[in-house]
Amino acid sequence: MQKIILDTNVLVSSIIQKSYPYLIVRELFFGDKFSLCLSAPLMQEYWDVLFREKFKKYPNFYLKASDLLEEIGDKAIVFPPKIHVALLSDKDDDMFLELADESEADFLITGDTNDFTISRYKETLIVNPKNYWENYRPI
């Protein structure tokens, strides 16, 4: 089974619109088609970002976010990173690479092409949601 790390922007997009992030979360994560890799710092970021004031303009956003985070808490595999990485321009995003290192994730799925300018970190491919859905998703 694939091991996946989801950037926070993928979760936000999965709640706001029915596009590739929505398909990845609803059909694949909820359908138990991959294992979601998580760390305590990443879960904290999910909570901090998904409950920002700016998202309350979307109908039922907080309810959907809460349900999604509860599901993630129940199903994700938690890995405590053991190394520190300082590679990306946005230092807050280095935690994704630290998690990739510890979990040996197959994919890091992100919509952030500005900060993730590399296509691979060790064995983890870094792809956008469309690329993942069209080329790598489990059938």
Q: Give 76's DSSP letter.
A: P
Tally the domains of the chain.
1
What percent of the chain is predicted at pLDDT more than 90? 83
Rounded-to-integer distance, Cα 44 and Cα 1, Å: 25
Name every residue whose Cβ is closer than 8 Å to that of residue 138 and which is 6 or more positions away in sequence: 1, 2, 28, 33, 34
User: Residue 104's Cα: distance from chain center in Å?
Assistant: 15
Instruction: Give the burial class of 57: count Cβ atoms within 10 A of its Cβ; 0-12 exposed, 13-18 middle, 19 or more buried.
Output: exposed
Residue 3 has pLDDT above 90, yes or no: yes
- Give the CATH number for residue 94: 3.40.50.1010
Asked if residue 91 lies in contact with residue 70, where contact means CB atoms within 8 angstroms, the answer is: no
Per-residue pLDDT tens digits for 44-73: 999 999 999 999 999 999 999 999 999 999
108-117: pLDDT as tens digits: 999 987 777 8
- Flag whether the pTM goes above 0.75: yes
Q: Can you give the residue range of the structural domain that contains 86?
A: 2-135
Three-state DSSP state, 101? helix
Please give the Cα distance from 81 to 14 (Å, whole number).
26
Confidence of residue 90 (pLDDT cuts 50, 70, 90): low
Residue 94 — pLDDT band, cuts 50, 70, 90?
A: confident
